[in-house]
Amino acid sequence: MQLHMVQWDIVWESPERNRNTIDSLLANDDICPGDLVVLPETCLTGFTHNRDFAAEATQADREYFAAVAARLGVTLVSGIIENGQNIALVHGPAGNQLARYVKQRPFVHGGEVWRAGDEPVVFDWNGIRVSPFICYDLRFPELFRTAAARWQPELMLVIASWPVARIHHWTRLLTARAIENQCFVAGINRTGTDPGYSFPGASVCVDWNGDALAESGSELGVTTAALDIDGLNAYRTALPFLKGI
């Protein structure tokens, strides 16, 4: 099972330029039909608080991501702003929408103005249960535990705009979420700068034991992780820590 984490310097409030970058990065021979491709939080606009990007007319964004998923035959996770909310969208290989997750913990310390969601979600990727989260959600283990109690997902995703000043928190919290929920956790971060922050990339996929399977540096690109689902299932059977939660 191939997971592809995509990171780049998201151009501030410029959806067209970011779509061009996405198309270029996904023209990658390592990405095959059936794979899972994950983009960062607010990947078309950057972490803007501009309500002009939360208008009702976001159908073009949806159609773009649906077309990318269908063209590549992949499951695609993207981050957008829509109707006053910070969203993770999931499209399947046929271009159909599989899930829509609303960030449950807006980053109020950074002035985030978007309305919070109140529920985790899960979607199926080739028989694997996947729960997506967004950035600041990572600091609230109860959100992940709720998903674990309901579905015991094999994979949890965190799409993010996580700043360089707190990157040591990023890696430690991702590792903690993986160990405590006995699953793979992938954090997909952006690189570069925006008007308020600098971002180091450092996308990473961690296994149930807290070991990093694949790590990105600070450059733009696609980092791939192979997920050993049989190994995870064997570990969960030997140590059934999730029972009764």
Give the residue numbers annotated as catalytic, written as ranges: 41, 103, 135
d(CA 48, CA 135): 14
Alpha-helix residue ranges (DSSP H) falling in 73-207: 141-151, 167-181
Asked if 2 and 199 touch (Cβ cutoff 8 Å), the reply is no
| Three-state SS letters, 28-78 | CCCCCCCCEEECCCCCCCCCCCCHHHHCCCCHHHHHHHHHHHHHHCCEEEE
Residues in the chain: 245
Distance CA 194, CA 192 (A): 7
Span between the terminal Cα atoms of the chain, in Å: 27
